[in-house]
Amino acid sequence: MKLARDLLSRRARNQEQVAPFRLPPWRAAALVASIVFAAALFGHLTRPLGFLSTFWPANALLMGVMVRNPGWAGPRGWAGAAIGYLAADFAMGGSPGITFWLTAGNLTDAGVGYLLFQRVADADRRLERPQALLFLLLIAFGAGVSAAIVGSGCLMVYFGQAPLQAFEFYLTSEFSSNLVVLPMVLTAPRLADLAKQLGAHVAPSTWRFKTALPGIALLASILVATAIGGSSAIAVPVPAILWCALSYGVFPTALLTFGLGLWQCTVLLAKLTPGTGEYAAALTSHRFGVALFSLGPIMVAAINTARSRLLDELDLAANQDVLTRTLSRRAFLARGEAALADSYAANRPLALLMLDVDRFKLINDEHGHATGDEVLVILAEHLAAMLRRDDLFGRIGGEEFAVLLPDLTRREALALAERMRDGCTQLRIPVDGGASLEITVSIGLVWGLAEPSSSLQLLLKQADAALYQAKRAGRDRVVDTALRAA
């Protein structure tokens, strides 16, 4: 039961996550302008006096926002982005020539990247598959080349750089920023979902120090690398970030990789002296290293997530009834034996229900097997909604279902069985001709404390005997019996 619920809730979360955030066009444009303005101001703060920024997240952030919200990528949205760039640059004292030229390069990077992302599948835009990282790499590089073609001339005219040096500088800046920032934006959950997840993880009952160890190790390695300095410092956090990738999901890993990339592009580069002959070459080499370095943890996290998803689906296929999404007979028997052993060890009562749809063969004969299947599906959904998370609910065969209820007294189990029976009489299953079909069920209930000789097969046998007593008594009723030793 829990397995089916987990799969459905995961699918629902995925659908919610990819749903675009809808706003009126003018509000969307204002929001885009505000995002770009804030990100551009942050980028300006990373630039040495008289030089360009060492880390510029605004273009990648804009690209990711547009990819996640394609309804914003209209004329107003891009105009809002341009206003955000211009306002930030003028606020920092930029000259008109440099400001307009670099803004054209910035918009080229975000715009070309957005257009390239439209040519890949939705799952790859969300980085849900390992091969999506190849698309991300190519798009980040293609957008960076396009931006360098447009903007590198500004570096030649206003900063006196040689053509090749200007092109490399511009390309590595955009390429590294794209690969550091985009994974975080593309995989981010909705704010409401993120708040729920954070609330769940900070609750004392769910907090585990062991869970935080990879993140603590990453922070410690960053501090050590900062103290060491030098070209080798960039590699010090590698084991810790890979540990994080194996321990957390894609988005947390992308968030940590962004923080790591920010440190690599700011703190480490602060030790280089701008204007020296070695500065430009070191900066270009460092940025390429950061760009390719950032792909590793995301790739590991994506592969690990895909592996976990595949194992979940295989487990689901092996343990779930295909039609009703309840536990299969084999899974119910295996988990039921474990639950029975737990109840015996804790000396807690339990109950087992056997439920059968009355005159189900007649339904199939008169309305067809498709209608019969619909009856089972609707019935299973109705019953599942009445159960606790730890109750076991399985399809034993045909139209028969079994429910194992740990830690319930006879009175509680009988009350639940009666609610199930009464609820089933109120179900209406549509059939051909606009009519609806009414159904009833019979339920056999066995309850009590498990004995050393008790087995799930014994409970099923006794519940089955009570079920057929209900059938012989006229159907649409509950018959209960106390658990008897073998």
Residues 6+ apart with CB under 8 A from 424: 379, 382, 383, 439, 440, 441
Q: What is the DSSP letter of 279?
A: H
Q: Please report the pLDDT score of residue 77 as a whole number.
A: 95
Give, rounded to a whole angstrom, the gap between the first and last alpha carbons of the chain: 28
CB 386 within 8 A of CB 445: no
Task: Please give the CATH number for the structural domain made up of 329-482.
Answer: 3.30.70.270
**Residue 196 half-sphere exposure, CB side, CA atoms within 13 Å?**
5
Q: What is the DSSP letter of 203?
A: S
Give the separation between CA 464 and CA 263, rounded to whole angstroms. Answer: 66
Q: Which residue shows structure tokens 């988005």?
A: 251
Residues in the chain: 486
Helices (H) and strands (E) in the chain, counts: 18, 7
In our burial notation (b when 16+ CB lie closer than 10 A, e otherwise), range 282-308 reads bbbebbebbbebbbebbbbbbbbbbee
Q: Please report the pLDDT score of residue 93 as a whole number.
A: 87
Domain ranges, ordered by start, for the chain: 19-316, 329-482
Q: Give the global pTM.
A: 0.70
Give the separation between CA 91 and CA 37, rounded to whole angstroms. Answer: 10
Q: Please report the pLDDT score of residue 280 as a whole number.
A: 67
Q: Please report the pLDDT score of residue 130 as a whole number.
A: 86
Give the separation between CA 74 and CA 165, rounded to whole angstroms. Answer: 34
Two tokens, residue 188: 């981010």
Strand partners, 66: none
Sequential pLDDT tens for the chain (486 residues): 544 444 444 444 444 444 556 778 899 999 999 999 999 999 888 765 445 677 899 999 999 999 999 999 999 999 999 999 999 999 988 899 999 999 999 999 999 999 999 999 998 999 988 889 999 999 999 999 999 999 999 999 988 888 998 898 899 999 999 999 999 999 998 766 655 555 544 444 445 678 889 999 999 999 998 888 776 788 899 999 999 999 998 999 999 999 998 888 777 666 666 655 566 677 777 788 888 888 999 999 999 988 888 888 888 778 899 899 999 999 999 999 999 999 999 999 999 999 999 999 999 999 999 999 999 999 999 999 999 999 999 999 999 999 999 999 999 999 999 999 999 999 999 888 778 899 999 999 999 998 888 899 999 999 999 999 999 999 999 999 998 876
Residue 390, phi then psi, degrees to nearest 5: -90, 0
Q: Please report the pLDDT score of residue 276 as a whole number.
A: 57
Give the separation between CA 425 and CA 241, rounded to whole angstroms. Answer: 57
CB 193 within 8 A of CB 73: no
Q: Please report the pLDDT score of residue 267 as a whole number.
A: 77
Give the separation between CA 398 and CA 171, rounded to whole angstroms. Answer: 64
The three-point CA angle 456-458-463 to 5° equals 95
CB 332 within 8 A of CB 392: yes
In our burial notation (b when 16+ CB lie closer than 10 A, e otherwise), range 240-277 reads bbbbbbebbbbbbbbbbbbbbbbbbbeebbeebeeeee
Give the separation between CA 433 and CA 419, rounded to whole angstroms. Answer: 30
Question: In 3D, which of 475, 479, 473, 470 has the Cα closest to residue 425?
Answer: 475
Which helix H or strand E contains 397, and what residues bound it?
strand 392-397
Q: Please report the pLDDT score of residue 191 as a whole number.
A: 67
CB 263 within 8 A of CB 222: yes
